[in-house]
């Protein structure tokens, strides 16, 4: 994944800055480097993915300017050829080496032109200032804060900034920072025109754009693997990828030692696409032992995120310890675009669309955060095909009337789009969704709730929850997570806006547990 850190204060010591940088060494274990410039420091922990030799090490420098970037710039080879024709020479095969030449030509206009997932900081030597930017969905993490004297810092994770910044905030996706201001360059929820295409056109576009999004994410100089839950989204990513490769892909699934819903479905997909499949089995004790490390890695107290992270964290830990895989593709972001079990209760197409916009805006605090931290803390890089900018832009512009579940099956458009290809078994393509934390094993959620229940008396719960005025814990499980969060990120709860829950204002969604299992329409999803 890589980690970046910037402190816009020149007089701090190198040792102090390096200590801050090393807090995220697991993101980039291959090598680290710091650079002092006029006005501050830049630091980089590298996980080598493109251009594996030392020439790809950052910060990159050009004509006095410098850049650090945690990112993947898709289509960079064409841009590199263009820049070569303009007289630039390159020292490495790294995609990120093109950033400074692009900045020289385009300035901050370049951010809106990038087909990329990134977090970066540029030092402009001529203007003696720092410019930071983050991709439009926030797939790559970036946080900021100010020290006690008002100097701004940027970092890949909050843990880099604890103890230095009183308040730590997520850098807004689709924005860049310059001269003390955060400026929006692209809003993925802004739909310029609702597309009223017919069903055939819609499904063809969904198919072609997602296939392209998967294809471009297979480009890596390091080994690539795939997380396979057996659900629709990860199965599609694996099925498409397998069809594009000339050798079996590496797939990985995880489940509890009892009642692991999805292992059998993942195995069915793996057999169908002829992947080299790996299963990781975990126990109740594995889940409980992972809880605190997961909260520490995530930097959240959100119930949904933590439950769903434990399986992903343990699976990625196994991948890191037992394989040479460095890049993993995942199925995140499909739910927010096409709907989840609770969006079946949307009272109107307009309400569905507004909810999708809200979820896309907040993704960087929940599902995207989960994928990034669970994967990066285990020294791997996440790639998220459903977050492809062209794909997201198109799906958000589809007439929401067509995205409502009026077909008797959620995510109908996505399923229909890939029906002719037979990339995955038809039974999987049409299988109803199960919540990931439940699908790892129904007992995972139950074990966590039982553990929390035994941790507090009713009186202790009522007393302790009251001291948290923001995102007040409402169950013993949520209090347990909040106390673990406060241990590592004291008084930083504002980094997450609230709990990732169904829209309680909708009839049928006023529930006190985020699992789709409690909804009346869950039906056979968890079987």
**Tens digits of per-residue pLDDT, 337-372?**
999 889 999 999 999 999 999 999 999 999 999 999
Q: What tens digit of pLDDT does each residue of 249-263 get?
A: 999 999 998 877 789
What's the CA gap between 294 and 306, in Å, rounded?
7
Q: What is the mean pLDDT of residues 377-391?
A: 96
- Edge-first strand listing for the sheet containing 129-134: 60-62, 65-73, 116-124, 129-134, 175-178, 181-184
- For residue 523, give the nearest of 441, 420, 410 by alpha carbon: 410
Residue % of the chain over a pLDDT of 70: 97
Can you read off the two tokens belonging to residue 175? 């924005």
What's the CA gap between 139 and 29, in Å, rounded?
20
For residue 110, pLDDT over 70 is answered with yes
Burial class of residue 462, CB neighbours in 10 A (0-12, 13-18, 19+): exposed
What's the CA gap between 478 and 486, in Å, rounded?
12
The tokens 């300035």 sit on which residue?
107
Identify the CATH number of the domain defined by range 3-184. 3.60.20.10
With cut-offs at 50, 70 and 90, classify the pLDDT of residue 523: low
Q: Which residues contact 43 (CB under 8 A, 6 or more apart)?
A: 4, 5, 6, 17, 18, 20, 21, 32, 33, 34, 35, 68
Q: What is the mean pLDDT of residues 510-525?
A: 79
For residue 393, pLDDT over 60 is answered with yes
What's the CA gap between 367 and 363, in Å, rounded?
6
Q: Would you state the pLDDT for residue 517?
A: 80
Question: How far are the Cα atoms of 85, 107, 277 from residue 101, in angstroms, in the given order?
Answer: 12, 10, 42
DSSP letters, 383-427, are: E-GGG-HHHHHHHHHB-HHHHSS-SSSTTHHHHHHTTTTTSS-HH
Contact by Cβ (8 Å): 56, 221: no
Nearest 5 degrees, angle CA 399-CA 403-CA 407?
130
Q: Would you state the pLDDT for residue 48?
A: 83
Fold of 208-518: Rossmann fold (3.40.50)
- Per-domain residue ranges for the chain? 3-184, 208-518
Predicted TM-score of the model (pTM): 0.95
- For residue 344, give the nearest of 398, 427, 409 by alpha carbon: 409
Q: Which residues are identified as catalytic?
A: 2
For residue 525, pLDDT over 70 is answered with no
Q: What tens digit of pLDDT does each residue of 416-468 get?
A: 999 999 999 999 999 876 555 555 767 888 899 999 999 999 999 999 999 99
């Amino acid at each position: 994944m890589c980690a970046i850190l910037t402190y816009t204060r020149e007089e701090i010591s190198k040792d102090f800055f390096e200590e801050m940088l090393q807090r995220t060494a697991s993101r980039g274990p291959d090598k680290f480097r710091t650079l002092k410039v006029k006005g501050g420091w830049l630091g980089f922990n590298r996980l080598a993915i493109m251009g594996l030799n030392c020439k790809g090490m950052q910060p990159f420098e050009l004509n006095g300017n410098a850049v650090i970037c945690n990112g993947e710039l898709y289509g960079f080879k064409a841009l590199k050829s263009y820049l070569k024709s303009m007289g630039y020479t390159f020292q490495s095969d790294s995609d990120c080496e093109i950033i400074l030449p692009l900045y020289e030509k385009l300035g901050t206009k370049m951010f809106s032109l990038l087909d990329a997932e990134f977090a970066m900081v540029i030092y402009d030597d001529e203007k003696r200032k720092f410019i930071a930017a983050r991709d439009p969905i926030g797939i790559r993490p970036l946080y900021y804060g100010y020290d006690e004297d008002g100097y701004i810092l940027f970092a890949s994770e909050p843990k880099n900034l604890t103890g230095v910044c009183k308040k730590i905030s997520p850098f807004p996706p689709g924005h860049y920072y310059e001269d003390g201001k955060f400026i929006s360059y692209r809003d993925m929820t802004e739909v310029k025109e609702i597309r009223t295409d017919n069903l055939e056109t819609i499904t063809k576009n969904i198919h072609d754009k997602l296939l392209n999004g998967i294809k471009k994410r297979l480009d890596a100089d390091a080994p690539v693997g795939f997380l396979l839950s057996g659900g629709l989204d990860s199965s599609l990513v694996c099925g498409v990828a397998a069809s594009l490769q000339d050798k079996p892909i590496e797939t990985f699934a995880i489940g509890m030692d009892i009642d692991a819903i999805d292992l059998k479905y993942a195995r069915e997909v793996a057999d169908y696409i002829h992947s080299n499949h790996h299963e990781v089995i975990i126990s109740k004790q594995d889940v409980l032992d992972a809880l605190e490390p997961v909260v520490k890695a995530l930097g959240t107290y959100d119930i949904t995120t933590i439950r769903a992270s434990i399986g992903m964290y343990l699976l990625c830990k196994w991948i890191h310890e037992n394989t040479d895989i460095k890049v993993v593709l995942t199925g995140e972001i499909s739910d927010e675009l096409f709907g989840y079990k609770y969006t079946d209760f949307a009272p109107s197409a307009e309400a569905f669309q507004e909810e999708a916009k809200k979820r896309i805006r907040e993704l960087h605090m929940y599902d995207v955060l989960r994928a990034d931290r669970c994967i990066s803390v285990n020294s791997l890089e996440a790639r998220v095909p459903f977050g492809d900018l062209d794909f997201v832009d198109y799906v958000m512009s589809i007439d929401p009337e067509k995205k409502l579940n009026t077909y008797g099956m959620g995510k109908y458009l996505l399923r229909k789009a890939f029906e002719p290809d037979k990339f995955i078994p038809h039974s999987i393509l049409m299988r109803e969704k199960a919540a990931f934390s439940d699908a790892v094993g129904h007992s995972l959620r139950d074990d966590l709730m039982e553990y929390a229940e035994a941790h507090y008396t009713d009186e202790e719960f009522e007393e302790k929850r009251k001291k948290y005025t923001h995102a007040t814990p409402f169950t013993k499980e949520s209090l347990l997570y909040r106390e673990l969060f406060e241990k590592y990120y004291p008084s930083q709860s504002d980094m997450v806006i609230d709990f990732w829950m169904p829209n309680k204002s909708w009839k049928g969604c006023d529930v006190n547990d985020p699992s789709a299992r409690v909804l009346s329409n869950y039906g056979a999803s968890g079987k």
